Structure 1
Amino acid sequence: MNLLIARCRTDGHLTDVRIRDGRVTEVAERLRPARDEDLVDARGGALLPGLHDHHAHLLAMGAAERSVVCGPPAVNDAAALRAVLRGAADAVPAGGWVRGTGYSESVAGLLDRTALDGMVADRPVRLQHRGGALWILNSAGLAAVASALDDSLDVERDAAGHPTGRLWRYDVRLRAAIGAEPPDLASVGERLASYGITGVTDATPDLDAAGLELIGTAVLGGRLRQGVQLLGAATGTPLAPGLSSGPYKILLRDHDLPGLEELAGLIDRSHRAARPVAVHCVTRESLLLTLAALEIVGTCEGDRVEHAAVVPPEMCEHLAAKRLTVVTQPSFIATRGDTYLASVDPRDAEHLYPYATLLAHGVPTAPSSDAPFGDPDPWRTMAAAASRRTPSGRVLGSHERVAPGVVLAGFLSPPHSPGGPPRRVAPGCPADLCLLGEPVEAALARPSADQVALVLRAGKPVFQR
């Protein structure tokens, strides 16, 4: 498909942009339309490279669409949780599973099998904590997956050795035991495209063959409308067209952190395979452990820290010295900030999800969603980073505010260099583009996905308002 986008703003200038064979071929003040191309009048709207979400979980996003929301702001107390789960249980046939997501202890405390049995006992229930790491099953659910329960610390047990229903990092094992239907990635792709997103870094750790096939087939068949970089594909794994491998994801389980030598060995093996690492760090302890391991084995270009949820200022200096990149999630302050204020160690509250401090120390920092555990809308993320307001309106870490334009630049940074110089619309670049309905300055004054007018992937429309 050949296109001429007329009267669009690129780098602040009013230009025309010609697209042929999936690439931008010309950018000039005035271009004459050719007979074999369609004309789009941008009416002065900004034409940007497509946005890239630097950390999301595509399969979990698809699965979440078939789940009931069990946490704030939709569900805020035990009575509401019971009603939601009971309603979902009544809607599924006998033996069918109830799948809930987004649970927070602020709703009904620390749940286990007994607590869930008091809400739903006649259907198997699996409830995912909003952090994504913890699944909570009722007794019927535990009985249904009994053969998949191992003796690792991932299966919490009581003093008598019986499973409590709390399972850590059990996604793959649960999916295999339940035989759940594959998630629909077409709807995920449509939703992301409506935000102007043309690329995603999937941060699911240790992707198995089934997960790789699901994502690869969806991209190849056009159901998933984004290019995908994978952090969880094993080094050397053949990938389908449209997929690429990024840094190797190392998941640090906060309930069972590895020893220093073990982590250093994991990083070293990845480096020796010429692959940087992306280390999951959501606590002060996990970040300290990661920095200590990198002190032993050294860093390589492209090493990054995922989340960096707690970063005291002195650690910023170490991140900068080691030339590490941070991929953060500003929207968590907007969605979880009040819970953080009530539950996080006070000494860490002012250092949650830093942004401005990291940039001030010269640490390349890029925004992301962590969807479905965070808000997938990048425009709401821009607003959240600028306000740092919690759901109740309190400001958490005002010194970490950054302007929406800084966050947009992060979403425009390349997949292989998050936080690096933003991509530009220029001859030769892929025609993965996002056209806004107004100039970028006006769009950033009130960030909203409603301003996305047209999205192209390889020169073909994948969303149009």
Structure 2
Amino acid sequence: MLIRNATVFGTADTDVRWVGGHITECGRGLRPMSGEDDIDARGGWLVPGLHDHHVHLRSLAARSGSIQFGPPRVRTAAELLNRLRSADRELPPHDWIRGVGYHESVAGDLDRARLDGMPTARPVRIQHRSGAVWMLNSRACELLDVDECSLAGVERDPAGHATGRLWRMDAWLGERIGARSPDLSGIATRAAALGITGFTDATPDLGQSDIDDLADRVADGAIPQRVHCMAAPNIAAPRVGRFSLGPNKIILDDTTLPALDEFTATLRELHAVGKPAAVHCVTRVQLVLTMAALETAGVIAGDRIEHGAIIPAESMAWLAEHGVPVITQPHFPVERAEQYAQEVPDEDRPDLWRLGSLLAAGVGVAAGTDAPFGGPDPWPVVRAAIDRGSESPAAETISPIAALALFFGEPARPQLGRTIAPGRIADLTLLRTPPSEFPDALDTDLVAATVVEGRPVYLAP
């Protein structure tokens, strides 16, 4: 197949040909060969296919059947009650109310006692915006035998009674409810229309059956994109093209931080079997602990920081020197501006969701949407990286090309940008506009074609 008359990223070429899944020729004035399909780009920008470096595919698919209970849709306790009443009226009998996106700015902390006082007899489960905790009413706790569960994630009051708050218990909750595997094809189709050619699924603690099911969806074409999935060392890699296993995801919570020696030992055990670590760091103490543990355990290729919500200036030299990239969400300062304005102390604001200063310091940076905990569209992420709003330091904004390149990284080494050249895999995104018009076109229907391993998975009408 051939793309002609494009502006090819990083080169002076206008035409790119591929056979099978790999690029075979780049140049100017290439002509279609007999029987070869071709696309006239009409001057559009041809770039490496966008890879979302941090997403939760199953949760994103499941959200389509969930009710938004947080900002901006729901901002007050009264609006929360109205949404619950509407759900109670509209859902089929015996269905659960499954809510997502809740933030305590709406009505404070939710637990079973608060939810029991709300107008429904249905089982209710509502997920916090962070994804860390589910909040259940007593009917839901009864159906799931939460009171009898001995797992550490079951929050209990001083008397030992379950509060209905379940921390990091998504897998247990899904098993108990008997949740069916969500349909991922719709998510993948929408992503293809947005130019996404690959995902890194950052869901923690996936079991072998979860991994196999995800690989099956790639194999049967429900997910036409490439999928790189975080997984523990004991997970066997399915032999499926376009599917690979990535680093082990490690979640840190400030209230249950491991001792430095314990965390260092964990990293050493992973590294001993060739497994890098992807460490969830959203606070200053989590980042400092991770750096200290990696300093002692040693850094291997593929180790990475997820989110990096708070990065002190004095940490950047260490990250750059040790080659540890930060997988960030530039859109969060925009999407969550209202909450951050109320919650983030003044002293932390210069360190909040750094971007431009990280790149200037030589730190590897890539972007992920963190969908469904952030919006799944990569283009608002790109716009936010270019213009983060008046509350963000000017040093954190970056150029349009640098913003787009946040999605060009290799799946296993996201700080290493992919190129368009002979021998490279033909994962490509064709934009309708040339680079000169790109920033102004971000709010329009921008993608003309998306190609994964040489196969067009989206062609604009």
The bucket for the TM-score relative to the shorter chain is over 0.9
Worse-superposed segment, 441-450 or 161-170: 441-450
Structure 2 partner of 1:232: 231
Supply the AA of the counterpart residue of 2:283. Answer: T
- What secondary structure is seen at the aligned counterpart in 2 of 1:198? strand
Matched, 1:461 2:456: yes
Q: Aligned partners of 1:7, 1:179: CA distance in 2, in Å?
A: 52
Partner of 1:61: 60
Cα contact 2:184–2:222 (8 A) shared by 1: yes
Contact 1:386–1:402 at 8 Å: present in 2 too? yes
Q: CA deviation at 1:405?
A: 1.5
- Cα deviation digits, residues 242-281 of structure 1 (max 9, x gap): 2111222111133311121221111001110112211111
TM-score when normalising by structure 1: 0.94
> Does the alignment pair 1:452 with 2:432?
no
Shift of 1:52: 0.5
| C-alpha distance in structure 2 between counterparts of 1:120 and 1:303, whole Å | 47
- How much does 1:233 deviate? 4.2
Task: Measure the CA separation in 1 of the matches of 2:452 and 2:387.
Answer: 31
Aligned residue for 1:85? 84
Match in the other structure for 2:418:
423
What displacement does 1:399 show?
2.6
Contact 2:232 2:247 (C-alpha < 8 Å) held by counterparts: no
Which residue pairs with 2:406 in the alignment? 410
Equivalent residue, structure 2, for 1:309: 309
Distance in structure 2 (CA, Å) of the matches to 1:118 and 1:13: 65
Identical pairs, percent: 44
Shift of 1:56: 0.7
Task: Measure, in 1, the Cα distance between the counterparts of 2:246 and 2:179.
Answer: 28
- Cα deviation, residue 441, structure 1: 2.9
Name the structure 1 match of 2:5: 7
Instruction: Tell me how large the CA RMSD over aligned residues is.
Output: 1.7
Displacement of 1:213 in angstroms is: 2.4
SS of the equivalent of 1:295 reads helix
**1:26-425 superposed matches below 5 A:** 26-146=25-145, 150-235=149-234, 237-241=236-240, 242-389=242-389, 394-420=390-416, 422-425=417-420
Contact 1:233 1:245 in 2 (8 A): no
Choose 123-132 or 229-238, whichever is displaced more.
Answer: 229-238
TM-score by length of 2: 0.95
The number of residues matched between the two structures is 458
Kindly provide the CA deviation profile for residues 66-88 of structure 1, in whole angstroms up to 9, marking residues without a partner as x. 11111111111112122222222
Q: Any conservation in 1 of the 2:21–2:455 contact (CA below 8 Å)?
A: yes
Deviation sequence 1:420-455 (CA, Å, 0-9, x none): 2x2222222222111111112311344246110111
Aligned partners of 2:218, 2:424: CA distance in 1, in Å? 20
CA displacement at 1:396 relative to structure 2: 2.7
Residues 206 and 234, structure 1, Cα contact 8 Å, conserved in 2: no
**DSSP 3-state at the match of 2:139:** helix
Structure 1, gaps ≥5 residues long:
none
Gaps of at least 5 residues in structure 2 are none
- Label 1:464 to 1:119 Cα distance change in 2 as closer, same or farther (>3 A): farther
| Structure 2 SS opposite 1:106 | coil
- The verdict on how the C-alpha distance between 1:342 and 1:437 changes in structure 2, with shifts beyond 3 A counting, is same
Deviation of the 1:147 alpha carbon: 5.3
Give me the whole-angstrom Cα distance separating, in 1, the residues matched to 2:339 and 2:219. Answer: 40
